[in-house]
Amino acid sequence: MSRFNAYFANDFRGCRLIAYGYDIHREREVKVYLMPGDLENVGLTDGVDKWIAPAIADPFGSRGLNIARLVKDIAEGKDVAPPVRPSLVKSRGRRTILEDEPAQPPKRERRALLDAATAEQAPSRSRRVLLA
């Protein structure tokens, strides 16, 4: 496990991004990374958590992706298309898709706290300083 700590600490910097997936339980987008020199495991991150999974288990290989076959093609030197980020999925309040500018709420007029008639009748206030 200690060999993966450097990848965890750097958010898999230096690793090749090979696919995008979606974690339905956490409702987050997941990035799948191929770590150099390791064809059996792939690195996964959802922006918050990071973990290692075996490539043969096909982690988050939705949308017809086969992670194990993709790793095998890269190891054999075949040309692999770069990953395409899926469209944003609307989640519970974390991301919102805005089509137009949000409508401005109508401005309310300010009400006077004291009318001109009641302002003259209000007693004047004075401040007194007490010295001890």
pLDDT at 84: 83
Q: Which of 31, 8, 36, 37 is closest to 18 using CA atoms? A: 31
pLDDT at 17: 92
pLDDT at 116: 64
Q: How many C-beta atoms lie closer than 10 Å to residue 32's C-beta?
A: 27
Q: Which residue has the tokens 């919102």?
A: 96
Averages of pLDDT over each 10 residues, the chain, 132 residues: 81 90 86 90 90 86 77 90 71 59 77 66 70 74
pTM: 0.62
pLDDT at 44: 92
pLDDT at 99: 66
Measured at the CA of 3, the angle between CA 59 and CA 70, to 5 degrees, comes to: 30
